[in-house]
Amino acid sequence: MARLEGRTALVTGAGAGIGRSVAERFAREDARVIIADRDADAAASVAASIGERARAVVVDISDESSVEAAFTEAAADGWSPDVVVANAGVQLFGQDAKAADLDLDVWRRTIDINLTGTFLTVKHAVRAMLASDGGSIILTGSPTGLTGEGQDFTAYSASKAGIHGLTRTVAAAYARDGIRVNTVVPAYTETGLVSTISDDPESRAAIVSRIPVGRAGTPADVEGIMVFLASSDADFATGALFAVDGGMTSL
């Protein structure tokens, strides 16, 4: 039996990168999948490629009315999710910087999308799950929120550290309601989000040299742990950070 048979998942940022890879894997594990992304064309394309087990919804995670509408529409159509992956985010290369050099508008934009957007996704996921039989919420973290890896990305690092803290707080608050909350911490993963690094051989080599297994991560590297956390195999796992980083945070 597929591990996610009978489940419905909503994945934010599923139009590309890690979000798309996870959504496609969930569908292969027999989950129904809501492809949530602010890019309508990308969301529709991914949903179409998956087929009848997927549907697309346009969501701006920094706008609560947009997030709330997505969950309300899903419930009205019988697609209320019991798995939510809060994955959408930004990393503003060329704008994020060391603290003394960081523009306030860049800080605010990053926090609004990465941290506030994740909070809003979690908030409405919890509300949906309280109305049913609980579920699993999975957040996407980063080594930058755990170590000094993101010293040149103050806003991004702070937003991810906030996500790690949010995981523990919400997990503790709703554990007795059958709602599990965990964070997956990938290493440097090559997607369109980090093309500034991947397209620069020197920068890429520098960051890969800090990953003990000796290579960059791929979206596919994250799929397995996401499936585990979404499944009943992880029923006793909540409030935890799961590093899938090639040993990067072990240094």
77: nearest Cα among 122, 27, 32? 32
- Tell me the C-alpha distance between 246 and 190, whole Å: 13
204 touches 243 (CB < 8 A):
no
Backbone dihedral angles phi then psi of residue 150, each to the nearest 5 degrees: -105, 40
Q: Output the six-digit token pair for 118.
A: 């994740």
- Asked about 156 being catalytic, the answer comes back as yes
Between strands 83-86 and 179-186, the pairing is unpaired
Q: How far is CA 52 from the centre of its chain?
A: 23
Q: Output the six-digit token pair for 4.
A: 């996610």
Beta strands in 141-235 (DSSP E): 179-186
The residues, ordered by sequence, that sit 6+ positions from 63 with a Cβ below 8 Å of its Cβ are none
Q: What's the chain's Rg over C-alpha atoms?
A: 17
- Tell me the C-alpha distance between 42 and 35, whole Å: 9
Catalytic, out of 156, 174, 188, 228: 156
- Tell me the C-alpha distance between 144 and 183, whole Å: 14
So which residues are the catalytic ones? 156
